[in-house]
Amino acid sequence: MANVIKREITVAKHNFRLEIYPQLEGTDEISFEIFPHGYEASLYAFSNKKMLNQIVKDKHIYEPKK
């Protein structure tokens, strides 16, 4: 298994643990998982899944375009 990069992030006052898997076997892209801290963060993540995934990709995985 590849090395796992772990980060603590905050989105809209909710805390999450982000785990980034650089190259999982059988994939060409970077994979990640988001683990919410607490019930309120879980509800936020469930209701805003697409937006949360896009924030993670833009700010924590891919380099910002200049």
d(CA 56, CA 40): 19
Predicted local confidence at residue 24, as pLDDT: 65
Q: Are 27 and 43 in contact (CB under 8 A)?
A: no
What does residue 43 show for φ and ψ, rounded to 5 degrees?
-65, -40
d(CA 18, CA 30): 13
pLDDT in tens, the chain (66 residues): 558 889 999 999 999 999 988 876 666 678 899 999 999 999 999 999 999 999 999 998 876 555
Predicted local confidence at residue 13, as pLDDT: 95
Predicted local confidence at residue 22, as pLDDT: 80
Predicted local confidence at residue 31, as pLDDT: 84
Q: What is the pTM of this model?
A: 0.79
Beta bridge partners of 33: 19
